[in-house]
Structure formats: C-alpha cells, structure tokens
Amino acid sequence: MTTLYFVRHGESRANVDKVFTGQTDVPLSDRGMRQAEELKKRLLALKPDAFFSSDLLRAVQTVTPAAEALGLSVRPEKGLREIDGGLWEGKHIDKIARAYPEDYARWTENIGLARCTGGESLEEVQARGLAAVLRIARENDGKTVVLATHAAMIRALTCAFRGLPLSEMQHIPFVPNASLSEVRFEKGAFTIERYADVSFLGSDVTRLPENI
C-alpha cells in the first residue's frame, strides 16, 4: 500500500488579486508562506519518504520547508501542473467573464465539462494528472509520498478516485490553500481517507470563491 498526501499550494499573490493564473508562475503571498510553515509541522509528523510537486513556484514553495527539514528534495512533476488557462492566463476573473461569457459560464456552472478558452479541458487535466499519480504511486510502493499540486487538479483527480464522471466535479468541494488530502493506493485502486484538511492552519485558512 502506498499513502499519498495531496497538498494544494498555499495562497498565492494571484489568489489575493483574483487573477486566473493557471500555469502562469507566481509566488506565494505572505500568508501563503505562513501556511507553508504550518503545513510543515503536520507533514513532519507524517514522516513522508518523498516529495513531488508541480513545477510551478507556488506549489514548490508550499512543500519546500517540510522537505528541507527532512533532508529531502522536492522532485518537479510537470504532470501535476494546474490547468493551462489559455487566453484566461493572467486576467482578472471579471475580465474573463466579460470577454469569454460562454466558456466562463460553463466553468462556473459545470466545471468538469469546461475548457479554458484556448487552453486545456478538465478532461485533459485529469488524464495527465492521473498518469503522473499512477506512475509515482507504483514507483514508491509501500511508501508515504507528498504531492503538491493545484485546486482544479485535486478536484478532477478526486472524481477519478471516486469513480465519478467529470460532470460531477461541480459537486466536489472546493480545496482551500495548503489543505491536505490523504489517499491510499493499493492493488491498483485509490481510496480517499481524508479530504481538504485545514485543521492545522488556525487563522490562516483561506476561503476563496471556487472559480479562482
């Protein structure tokens, strides 16, 4: 059995500004850095054997404090990146809603069936993410692994782990910044043990709209 801990990145500066970042590389905010330190304490208690992360800075920064404390490196994994936002990248969500009303309406009303204008669909995100997670789980059989990634990816993967179609992704709860989800992988099957835990963050829990 392999134990996988999925971490959503801490609060980024773009989260604060309500800018759609997707694969745009942005750093954590000051609160995001505090979240990374609070997460570190929880991860040290779990004694992970390996750290993998989306190669985007905000994800890497979130788990680096814990990895360094354990003397481990954070291995970049492009398959864990956030959705490619296409023409939405770097734009405020209000501008996206005005410029691409049909595509943005699908995002807000049934995200699992959406595609960012000129970018990826959630189906494509789920496919590349699941391929990366399966490879990592099999290569680390019997170990405890941390995977730092992003909100849309975690929700899309949750559908796959639960055997749900992506049309049900709209009902998968929002994933707060720096939250921790525990998944067991055994005999080719995934079991979610814990989802989006933020009990260790205290007053630094972020409550952002689901469409950012």
What residues contact residue 84 under an 8 Å CB cut-off, 6+ apart? 22, 23, 116, 119, 120
**The CATH classification of domain 2-84+122-204, taken from the options 3.40.50.2020, 3.40.50.300, 3.40.50.1240, 3.30.200.20:** 3.40.50.1240
Given this model, what pLDDT does residue 204 score? 85
Q: pLDDT in tens for each of the 212 residues of the chain?
A: 999 999 999 999 999 899 999 999 999 999 999 999 999 999 999 999 999 999 999 999 999 999 999 999 999 999 999 999 999 999 999 999 999 999 999 999 999 999 999 999 999 999 999 999 999 999 999 999 999 999 999 999 999 999 999 999 999 999 999 999 999 999 999 999 999 999 999 888 887 655 45
Q: What is the pTM of this model?
A: 0.96
Residue ranges per domain, the chain?
Answer: 2-84+122-204
> Which two three-digit tokens encode residue 1?
């059995």
